[in-house]
Amino acid sequence: MSTWRKLLRDPQAAVTGSILILIFAAGLSTPLLAQHGPNESDLSMVNAPAGTPGYLLGADESGRDILSRLLHSINTSAVSALIGTGVALAVGVSAGLVGGYFGARTRAIAEWAFNLVMTFPGLLLLILLMPVTGGDYRYTMLIFGVLLSPGIYRIVRNLVLGVKNELYVDAARVSGLGNARILGRHVLSVVRGPIIIAAAFMMGASIATQSGLAFLGVGSKEIPSFGDMISSGFRNLYVAPTQFLWPSLLLGLITASLVLLGNALRDTLAGSRPQPAKVGQGQRAEVTPQPPAAADPEALLEIRDLTIAYPGPGGQPREVVRGATLAIHRGQTVGLVGESGSGKTQTAFAVLGVLPDEAVVTRGSIVFEGRELIGLSDSEMRPLRGKQIAYVPQEPMSNLDPSYTVGAQLVEGVRSALGISKSEAKTRVLALLERCGIADPERTFDSYPHQLSGGMAQRVLIAGAVASRPKLLIADEPTTALDVTVQAEILDLLRDLQAELNMAVLLVTHNFGVVADICERIAVMERGQIVESGDVLEVLRGPRHEYTRMLLDSILDHTAPIREASR
């Protein structure tokens, strides 16, 4: 659906947008009426008492006169908003893109210039420059736009700095796209949401500042403005209260609509407005949890008939996991294998209780140590997650926060899992790093994630995951992002830790070699269903299901995993 159609369907955007269009259309068409139409006389001072300056209203103004001045004030506000915001965006966005994207020297120059602008006392400067601007509100708003631009510059610069080292920006660069195309296509799309919100606020601020200056009586007396109207409304408050009421209400309505429209626009552009879940009632589980009646009394984790659905494009549920059944015993390593998109990660996420909000468990149960996990709230899952059930992700780098040292992140996790002091946690983390094969634990402890190699980062995450001696470790493609030598080392580490801690491991992978290397049992997943499971050797030597055979045949040297497995 196009962005415009989405916006029209959004009630907040549609209502506030219509209000603003109506108000501004009425205001902006007023000069034409004033020039060519019969209302020109409305702008004269015929009704104002002698000595009333500019557009100040007399106490006996007719409703038509008030309306005419309101329309002209809207016009002034619209022009103020456009000039103030336009200048702030033009200066702030272009400097932010350049300052954030290009080298430190360009950034330092931009930074210096904007810091200088920020040292000026804004409102005072606007008043002091009145002799220069000749009281013309358009020049005043132009200067106001420059004064607003540092805020925009900082927003854009920070967003650009965050995005410019993303892998997809590197990929665009490598594919030969020029800087202008990368900035326009990849970087601008990230900054536009916050800019729209800021622009809505700035439009409101421009209108409020222009009105405020007029209220103070600073600037041209010939230009109608909400400020003038409110000022004269104050003076006539007891004899003609509507003179104060209407401009105040209209000013409030315009600024509130601008901010609400900005929010709605940002949400639509970012696609972040949560849509009501169409499957079930938007709850995590649609099933009524049954009292655990484990079919396999030995099982540490037992998944039975698990079915997970997402709302499809037409609202009908789309099942991504269908009736999956799987058991893991204490200390056992089970490989969950299948092609990309077969539902392995969704199954793992369901066990961890971290499925996205729109996912619904429509059937089945997940029993961990005799306790049903389906239907548990986040606070009920928290004592299990990261402590009894730990997780090692596929992309080690994207799971470490670049702003903190490795040590700070591990200590925080260990303290929350074990409730020990900071120094005890540090000692434990250093020992764990050493146990996980990190050559210089002290140095790694003080390093930031970008200073680590992929293999080291994965060791760090494994150290963090096993710190609480979990009963179950879920490792989601833990070696996919690593080179072959490091893959083997990480698998060795997982195997050793599993034996040492007598920990059960659910290894999510698409690689039979990895399964053959460290798993005792295997479950093969195809389009959301577990189609075959059993002892690794038996399944690899004599696959019963067509899909398993097809997967095994697709391995070039399909004897390798079996040879490995029989070691």
Ligand X SMILES: Nc1ncnc2c1ncn2[C@@H]1O[C@H](COP(=O)(O)OP(=O)(O)OP(=O)(O)O)[C@@H](O)[C@H]1O
Piece in contact with ligand X (CB under 6 A), picked from 86-94, 163-171, 226-234, 343-351 = 343-351
Q: Which is nearer to ligand X, 59 or 397 (CB)?
A: 397
Minimum CB separation of residue 253 from ligand X in Å reads 39
Q: From residue 158 to residue 197, what is the string marking binding to ligand X with x (rule CB under 6 A)?
A: ----------------------------------------
Alpha-carbon distance 488 to 242, whole Å? Answer: 80
Angle among Cα 284, 385, 347 to the nearest 5 degrees reads 50
Q: Which is nearer to ligand X, 44 or 340 (CB)?
A: 340
Tokens encoding 504:
């059960």
The reply to whether 320 sits near ligand X by the rule CB under 6 A is yes
Minimum CB separation of residue 2 from ligand X in Å reads 21
Which residue of 345, 362, 444, 533 would you call a contact of ligand X, by CB under 6 A?
A: 345
* DSSP-assigned letter for residue 283: -
Q: Measuring CA to CA, which residue among 222, 223, 248, 262 is closest to residue 79?
A: 223
Amino acid occupying residue 154: R
Which residue of 92, 219, 317, 343 would you call a contact of ligand X, by CB under 6 A?
A: 343
Residue with tokens 């499809």: 312
Q: Which is nearer to ligand X, 37 or 341 (CB)?
A: 341
Q: Which is nearer to ligand X, 200 or 352 (CB)?
A: 352
The reply to whether 278 sits near ligand X by the rule CB under 6 A is no
Tokens encoding 418:
């074990």
Query: 437: Cβ–Cβ under 8 A, 6 or more apart, which residues?
Result: 459, 489, 493
SS3 88: helix
Which residue of 235, 387, 495, 510 would you call a contact of ligand X, by CB under 6 A?
A: 510
Handedness of CA 118, 119, 120, 121 (dihedral sign): positive
Minimum CB separation of residue 395 from ligand X in Å reads 11
Query: Which H helix or E strand runs over 315?
Result: none
Q: Which is nearer to ligand X, 333 or 509 (CB)?
A: 509
Amino acid occupying residue 420: I
The residues in 364-383 that bind ligand X, with binding defined as CB under 6 A, are none
Q: Which is nearer to ligand X, 357 or 446 (CB)?
A: 357
Alpha-carbon distance 465 to 391, whole Å? Answer: 6
Residues in contact with ligand X, total (CB under 6 A)? 12
Integer angstrom CA distances of residue 27 from 81, 85, 211, 248: 13, 18, 15, 16
Q: Which is nearer to ligand X, 65 or 526 (CB)?
A: 526
Minimum CB separation of residue 331 from ligand X in Å reads 25
Q: Which is nearer to ligand X, 186 or 344 (CB)?
A: 344
Integer angstrom CA distances of residue 341 from 298, 306, 345, 347, 525: 30, 16, 8, 11, 10
Q: Which is nearer to ligand X, 266 or 344 (CB)?
A: 344
Amino acid occupying residue 13: A
Alpha-carbon distance 115 to 117, whole Å? Answer: 5
Q: Measuring CA to CA, which residue among 31, 53, 28, 29 is closest to residue 42?
A: 31
Minimum CB separation of residue 338 from ligand X in Å reads 5
The residues in 427-446 that bind ligand X, with binding defined as CB under 6 A, are none
Query: Which H helix or E strand runs over 3?
Result: helix 3-9
Minimum CB separation of residue 513 from ligand X in Å reads 15
The reply to whether 511 sits near ligand X by the rule CB under 6 A is no
Q: How long, in residues, is the chain?
A: 567
Angle among Cα 194, 16, 2 to the nearest 5 degrees reads 65
Minimum CB separation of residue 358 from ligand X in Å reads 6
Q: Which is nearer to ligand X, 184 or 341 (CB)?
A: 341
Minimum CB separation of residue 459 from ligand X in Å reads 22
Integer-rounded Cα Rg, in Å, for the chain is 33
Q: Measuring CA to CA, which residue among 329, 294, 296 is closest to residue 506?
A: 329
The reply to whether 478 sits near ligand X by the rule CB under 6 A is no
Residue with tokens 């990261």: 386
Q: Which is nearer to ligand X, 198 or 366 (CB)?
A: 366
Q: From residue 322 to residue 341, what is the string marking binding to ligand X with x (rule CB under 6 A)?
A: ----------------x-xx
Q: Which is nearer to ligand X, 345 or 444 (CB)?
A: 345
Piece in contact with ligand X (CB under 6 A), picked from 237-245, 344-352, 396-404, 444-452 = 344-352
Q: Which is nearer to ligand X, 343 or 464 (CB)?
A: 343
CA dihedral 144, 149, 155, 156 (to 10 degrees): 140
CA dihedral 83, 84, 85, 86 (to 10 degrees): 40
Amino acid occupying residue 350: A
Piece in contact with ligand X (CB under 6 A), picked from 119-127, 281-289, 290-298, 342-350 = 342-350
The reply to whether 53 sits near ligand X by the rule CB under 6 A is no
Which residue of 119, 356, 485, 567 would you call a contact of ligand X, by CB under 6 A?
A: 356
Which residue of 69, 107, 157, 344 would you call a contact of ligand X, by CB under 6 A?
A: 344
Question: Per residue in 463-492, is it b (16+ CB within 10 Å) or e — as a string?
Answer: bbbbbbebbbbbbbbbbebbeeebbeebbe
Residue with tokens 């670049």: 402
The reply to whether 342 sits near ligand X by the rule CB under 6 A is yes
Q: Which is nearer to ligand X, 337 or 410 (CB)?
A: 337
The residues in 279-318 that bind ligand X, with binding defined as CB under 6 A, are 310
Which residue of 75, 332, 346, 444 would you call a contact of ligand X, by CB under 6 A?
A: 346
Minimum CB separation of residue 279 from ligand X in Å reads 11
Contacts with ligand X by CB under 6 A lie at 310, 320, 338, 340-346, 356, 510
